[in-house]
Structure 1
């Protein structure tokens, strides 16, 4: 049998910190956290309250999780971050980047000073979180251009559609492709084609606002989403972008034929049943441009 002294040694040796927290957010006890690569010494927290240490918004989140665990009596598992902006009076040598934790919160079956308490085990998952973010980024990014891909477009447009339907926030969409691209690609080869595609991506990156997002839809077809942008403003921006394309893509030519861009512009409307309706209308606008002779803009 393990005696109390041995149990204390075991608890102190835990690599992840384990906190006993009261319903009101008081640190009743701290065990473990001996992996100094990831954790500071937490013994000084005992007797203090979360609200003493953490700014109100984050402190309220911690208290909500404690209340949930006490009410459900089930194990809760939550991921959260802590950074300089969350912690009151953090020393200058504190972490510059957010630290991500996985919290495992379980109600305990005894009271401390007439308060219910929980066990909160905090595991530093920052390395895992960085890896997951990187994998997510790779799955959402077109390898050739570095722009977002069709998968990411569909995800984002779902959110834009919901925002438009619920809050009437306008979102405009450009769909454009490259005129004469196939001729140059077939004549000069795929390396030349890739160079053109990359040039288009670079123009998009430098021309759009921070709130806008550019996507490679497939082949030589691209989409730009402009949230909080009405049709008139979108058309003005489309003209500026079109001028950039004319100027900077003129160096790509074969036998006197140069690469130009045709742009279809539309906006999410109340009549759209989903973002797919918006994309179809942008595609129709692009088709109209082609039928009118290419190298121009059409709004639908």
Structure 2
């Protein structure tokens, strides 16, 4: 008896929770969980069924994991979450938290209990790891200056929108815009004030868009907007509303306001679009047509905007990279 008690003490000292469960979902035994501080609560599960402990949907999911493990006779790894909203008083997470994530390792055991096969379920709390991964994911998707989507993310969204257009016919239009004569703002007021203007324009644009639309910063003062379920005619109305909003609402500074305008180029998705770069390039050409024809206006892409019609067209990626390099050299000189 002494040896058994010592073994129980050792098993309960494990940082991770370890459950022995039958194939019908009954708790046969429970060990460990010292890092969660809920050993006694878990011990109370012994003899209960999964649906005594969890809501029906969650209990059915866990039972399906057990069934799959026993059927395959292989170790299975699963990720699951407990939420305060779903479990209420039965929520196993620390006070003040709303969700707790676990990684479950489920292993078939060569043992039976009450004439049923059993599994060993080890539950590792991965909430901290999960939160870190989410923070890193957010940082990789969001532009640090404006807190909207960054270049990579907005291009990925365009790619996904093209796939939806191909599969379901969901049309969309791209708006590409930048701030007219932004270099003058930087040169006159300095880069910190220039950054403030960029943030302001991003906020105004974001507030003008619907929840299903997307906006991202391509770099510098250049932005890309994806208007879902919007053809070129309706996109023009959105574009002009945005353009006027920027023109009529100067960026407030401490001692003065900065008045600015934007130029916008538009391109609607076409049936032969397969890659985001071609569609973005058309919006880019329309933008530079607008800038070369007076600024502070919206222009729709047309074939006349190609090289032969008076605008020296370059690949969008090459031109964007060149702009960024010029901006960096300018910053270094300062």
TM-score, normalized by length of structure 1?
A: 0.83
Structure 2 equivalent of residue 138 of structure 1: 139
Q: Secondary structure of the residue that 2:144 maps to in structure 1? A: coil
Matches within 5 A, 1:247-266: 247-249=248-250, 259-266=260-267
- The answer to whether structure 1 residue 205 and structure 2 residue 220 are counterparts is no
Which residues in structure 2 correspond to 1:169-184 (within 5 Å)? 169-184=170-185
Aligned to 1:210, what secondary structure does the other structure show?
Answer: coil
How far, CA to CA, are the matches of 1:43 and 1:154 in structure 2? 51
Give the drift of 1:180: 0.9
Q: Deviations over 1:193-224 (max 9, x none)?
A: 21211111221233223333321111110112
SS of the residue aligned with 2:282? Answer: helix
Q: For the residues of structure 2 that align with 1:127 and 1:271, how far apart are their CA atoms?
A: 45
User: Which consecutive residues of structure 2, in runs of 5 or more, have no partner in the other structure?
Assistant: 302-334
Instruction: Give the Å deviation of 1:3.
Output: 4.4
Contact 1:102/1:123 (8 A) holds in 2: yes
Give the CA RMSD over aligned residues: 3.0
Cα distance change, pair 88–182 in 1 and its aligned pair in 2 (3 A): closer
Deviations 1:240-284 (A, max 9, x none): 2222111124779xxxx9531112233444321123332222223
1:156 aligns with 2:157: yes
Query: Which structure 2 residues correspond to residues 79-228 of structure 1 after superposition, within 5 A?
Result: 79-87=79-87, 90=90, 97-228=98-229
Preserved CA contact (<8 Å) 1:33 1:40: no
Q: Is 1:282 paired with 2:283?
A: yes
Name the SS for the 2:227 alignment partner: strand
Does structure 2 retain, via aligned residues, the 8 Å contact 1:33–1:41? no
Name the structure, 1 or 2, with higher relative contact order (CA <8 Å, separation 6+): 1
Pair 1:135–1:9, CA change in 2 (3 A): same
Change (3 A) 1:188 1:88: closer
Deviation at 1:95, TM superposition (A): 5.8
How far apart, in 1, do the equivalents of 2:236 and 2:114 lie? 66
Larger CA Rg, structure 1 vs 2: 2
**Separation in structure 2 between the aligned mates of residue 40 and residue 211 of structure 1, nearest angstrom:** 47
> 2:242 maps to which residue?
241
Unaligned runs of 5+ in 1: none
Give the secondary structure class of the aligned counterpart of 2:41.
coil
Distance 1:150 1:133 in 2: 19
1:43-64 per-residue CA deviation (whole Å, 9 max, x = no partner) reads 2223333334434443443233
Which position in structure 2 is the counterpart of 1:20?
20
Cα deviation, 1:112-165, whole Å, max 9, x if unaligned, reads: 333332221112222222222222222222222222211222333333333333
Shift of 1:83: 0.5
**Structure with the higher helix share, 1 or 2:** 2
**Alpha-carbon shift at residue 168 of structure 1 (Å):** 2.9
| C-alpha distance in structure 2 between counterparts of 1:118 and 1:281, whole Å | 59
Pair 45,154 (structure 1): closer, same or farther in 2 beyond 3 Å: farther
